Amino acid sequence: MLFCAFLWPSVEANTDAYDLLITNARIVDGSGNPWFRADVAIKDGRIVRIGRIASNTAAKTVDAKGQILAPGFIDVHTHVESVYSLPAAENFVRMGVTSLVTGNCGSSTTDVGQFLGRINEKPLAVNLATLVGHGSVRNKVMGLVDRAPTPEELKQMEGVVEQGMKDGAVGISTGLIYVPGTYAKTDEVVALARVAGRFGGIYATHMRNEGDKVADAIRESIQIGEQAGIPVEISHFKISNKRLWGQTPMTLGLVREARARGLTVTVDQYAYTASSTSLASRMPSWVHAGGFEEAKKRLADKATRERAINDMKDALKRSGFKDYSFAVVASYGPDKSFNGKSIAEITKQVRNKSDVASQIEQILEMYEAGGAGMIYHGMSEDDVKRIMQEPFTMIASDSGVRRADDDSVPHPRGYGNNARVLGRYVRELKLISLEDAVRKMTSLPAQTFGFRDRGLIREGFAADIIIFDENTIADQATFDKPHQYPLGISYVLVNGTVVLANNQMTDARPGAALRGAGYASPVAGK
Ligand SMILES: [Zn+2]
């Protein structure tokens, strides 16, 4: 009977043995193995015992009956450079994320030591790791110029990457569609990735192309990994060219082939058919050389503007979309009424026109007024599913920290990504098993990014733990109403401390900086 334990405490009872005991959970341990039932005891931030554990051995007990206990999710693709201004990182915590990897797509701090060190003065609810971004390094050394580096400049960039790795970066990232990363040729990236590789880092890439030239871009990514001797992570793996929808067997095949040759190549994805990035990314990269003011000057010249417009028309045609109705504004400073509307809708409203040339004029005008954050509905659901089923795919949001009271209409992935996989793709569509989905959010990211004591429910591992109901977990955030937290996740622990309890955020800030292998010393002999 239930009350017996309370009436007859064992003589050996020692409520100090553990800080926290979680009982009656079904454990999905992150390895991909089928669930098992056990209690989990936590002490000093670590999982210290898994098994049948007497209920009176801990200062506090959480009964997880009927729920799943899993490792906290590790989101390897985020943009949380501003996390110290929102230290609760609530949008991540509420979708079960306990560790963030930022510095993606070539954009990061160039002072990794300072960035990670700030956690001591400004504690966070979640753990934080960073890559060192190639674009940021290039900007620091060369500015935004469209040319190859001189040998001296390359050396300086190598120095910045080396320092970043010694300060604890987990690797190097590129954003080869963005300024200034796009101005780098393959050999420059190889040289810098080689430095990160020497310190045990990973090469994470927003590839040069995710559309009509996606296969070439995958080949380039693999080549960089092979030549630089570094594992490759292809970020937000997708096909965003309508004409190539359905080609994921081919693109995934390229990764499989590389792996068959012994190269470490993995990918991540978010569980949506839309991407999100800047409005500027629609424009040809030559327009952006030298920065925003230079670009505006170029666009003020009639002939140059015409050339940009023609390039954009060509790019649109190649992408297989008939106009810009797939491009929706997430945030536009000068006129918030644009938020949530497509470029086609805005052009109709502002210019009473629906032709592509007018839409491009509208884009250029919004760019000149300061630019916009955008959502691009450019992928096919079948491709998203096929990528998700691949064993080497992990789940990552590509999101920043969010404020729920914000008036922007951002991509819902920052609120719903992990819950969406578990609700929609696991429970509703039965595309992958619960255990495999959790693996893609925990041990696979931990293995890939070198977090050796996280991502599994194991004695001795850090107690990053979540408790959720597999029958109710669901994303609530939609493209129309993105600022909504998911359902079904009741507890989140970071380093053994509760940051979400009974669906309520606590004030605890137990997050740690997760530093890469180079922080201690470079890998010997390389
Ligand atoms: Zn990216």
Which CA distances in Å does 362 have to 298, 303, 316? 17, 18, 15
- Per-residue pLDDT tens over the stretch 3-60: 444 444 444 457 789 999 999 999 999 999 999 999 999 999 999 999 999 988 999 9
Cα(432) to ligand 1 centroid in Å equals: 25
Cα(231) to ligand 1 centroid in Å equals: 18
Cα(260) to ligand 1 centroid in Å equals: 26
Cα(176) to ligand 1 centroid in Å equals: 9
Residues within 5 A (CB) of ion ligand 1: 105, 206
Cα(384) to ligand 1 centroid in Å equals: 16
Cα(235) to ligand 1 centroid in Å equals: 7
β-sheet bridge partners, residue 61: 21
**Looking at the predicted structure, is the pLDDT value of residue 110 above 90?**
yes
Q: What pTM did the predictor assign? A: 0.94
Residues 6+ apart with CB under 8 A from 423: 473, 474, 475, 486, 488
Cα(81) to ligand 1 centroid in Å equals: 14
Burial class (CB in 10 A: 0-12, 13-18, 19+), 401: buried
Q: What is the pLDDT of residue 1?
A: 41
Average pLDDT over residues 468-489: 97
Burial class (CB in 10 A: 0-12, 13-18, 19+), 460: exposed
Arithmetic mean of pLDDT over the chain: 95
Q: What is the pLDDT of residue 99?
A: 98
Cα(148) to ligand 1 centroid in Å equals: 22
Ordered alpha helix ranges (H), 120-184? 134-142, 151-166
* Structure token pair of residue 54: 């007497």
Cα(77) to ligand 1 centroid in Å equals: 8
Cα(24) to ligand 1 centroid in Å equals: 40
- Per-residue pLDDT tens over the stretch 151-199: 999 999 999 999 999 999 999 999 999 999 999 999 999 999 999 999 9
Cα(210) to ligand 1 centroid in Å equals: 10
Cα(396) to ligand 1 centroid in Å equals: 11
* Structure token pair of residue 373: 């954050």
CA distance 230 to 243: 32
Average pLDDT over residues 294-301: 96
Cα(182) to ligand 1 centroid in Å equals: 12
- Estimate to the nearest angstrom the gap between the alpha carbon of 112 and the chain centroid: 18
Cα(104) to ligand 1 centroid in Å equals: 7
Confidence of residue 61 (pLDDT cuts 50, 70, 90): very high
